[in-house]
């Protein structure tokens, strides 16, 4: 397998990328331990015009700064004071589009993932939900604004291909405040995979 190249992420079609990233494999290396998961669920945030995005209206602050970088970087932030959430920044510089990774299927370093989550890898809740993904793969704020083709965190192309029939789409989770954008069907997941936050 090969790491996805920076050009892959510089596509401005975040709706396409959110679906195309399903089946790709997210790796992290922390304390010399490598863990990885197959991406099974994503959400697309389409930038300045998206009322559900942290970058709505072009809001550029210390927190959202990562999203304004060129595609191929990470955006990690803390939610509810407890949970880390991991996003893939896409498109070009100053176009703050991103893909939130909401669930993965454990792929490598299973024993490490199991001890981080204190449950067996066969339990589908081990890495379903954006906070759980980060805990399973050891992602914290130190992983913010990192290039996704580096040595700490990266994504590989598994070669898996899916058709539209394999992918379900629903409104995004937890964005009821986003007015008319709350209902847009920009959450995507693999229908046949158990490791999804909710069907």
- The site for DNA (CB under 7 A) is made up of 43, 45, 52-55, 59, 61-64, 67, 75, 77-83, 85, 87, 98, 100, 117, 125, 129-133, 135, 172-175, 177, 197
Nearer to DNA, 1 or 76 (CB): 76
- Which C-beta is closer to DNA: that of 127 or that of 164? 127
**Least Cβ distance, residue 6 to DNA (angstroms):** 20
- Name the strand (E) or helix (H) holding 136: helix 130-137
Q: How far is CA 186 from CA 44, 144, 154, in A?
A: 5, 23, 23
Closest CA to 43 of 15, 63, 65: 15
The answer to whether 23 and 176 have CB atoms below 8 angstroms apart is no
Nearer to DNA, 163 or 169 (CB): 169
Residue-level length of the chain: 199
Pairwise CA distance, residues 187 & 94, whole Å: 23
- HSE of 40 in the Cβ direction (CA atoms, 13 Å)? 26
Residue number, 2 or 80, with CB nearest to DNA:
80
Judged by beta carbon, residue 28 or residue 53, the one nearer DNA is 53
Cβ 2 to DNA shortest distance, Å:
26
């Amino acid at each position: 397998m090969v790491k996805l190249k920076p050009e892959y992420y510089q596509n401005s079609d975040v709706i396409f990328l959110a679906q195309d990233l399903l089946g790709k494999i997210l790796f992290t290396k922390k304390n010399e331990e490598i863990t990885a998961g197959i991406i099974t669920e994503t959400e697309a945030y389409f930038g300045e015009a998206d009322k559900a995005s942290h970058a709505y209206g072009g809001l550029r602050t210390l927190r959202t700064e990562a999203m304004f970088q060129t595609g191929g970087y990470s955006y990690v932030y803390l939610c509810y004071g407890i949970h880390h959430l991991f996003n893939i920044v896409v498109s070009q510089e100053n176009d703050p589009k991103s893909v939130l990774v909401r669930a993965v299927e454990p792929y490598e370093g299973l024993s490490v993932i199991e001890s981080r989550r204190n449950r067996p890898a066969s339990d589908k809740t081990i890495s379903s939900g954006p906070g759980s993904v980060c805990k399973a793969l050891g992602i914290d704020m130190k992983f913010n604004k990192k290039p996704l083709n580096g040595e700490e965190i990266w994504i590989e192309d598994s070669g898996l291909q899916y058709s539209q029939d394999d992918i379900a789409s629903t409104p995004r989770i937890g964005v009821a405040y986003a007015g008319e954008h709350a209902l847009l069907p920009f959450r995507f997941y693999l229908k046949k995979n158990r490791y999804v936050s909710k069907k």
